[in-house]
Amino acid sequence: MQEVRIKHDGRLLLETLAGLGLLGLVMFGAGMTVYRLIAPEGWLARLLGSALSSGAAALVSLMVIGVLAWFSREWITPERKNRYAELILYGFAAAGMLYLAQLWLAGTL
């Protein structure tokens, strides 16, 4: 009886560690994606070009993210939210893995 409990506790520990690893990847992927989007020399600043200063581009990008987040509450029905939530979760985890690989191989982000 004691051996069964040890095996169960080991599986639970592995599931917990895998969940923490996934959480770390998602947080790193989401954080780096947002940073690359709103950085002074980021994706949105490149998209807007020299029309706006870097500070104004960062402000505009934060406003765009806020507006999209506000309207996305109504665009997605509750039945489809779970599917999109998993897609976003694993997408940010994949982005986190790519950013970590880039950091490891190139030494910079």
Boundaries of every domain in the chain:
2-106
Max intra-chain CA distance, the chain: 71
26-61 per-position pLDDT tens digit: 999 999 998 888 777 778 777 777 666 666 766 777
pTM for the complete prediction? 0.69
Reduced 3-state DSSP string for 7-63: HHHHHHHHHHHHHHHHHHHHHHHHHHHHHHHHCCCCHHHHHHHHHCCHHHHHHHHHH
| Confidence bin at 23 (pLDDT 50/70/90) | very high
Residue 10 confidence (pLDDT)? 79
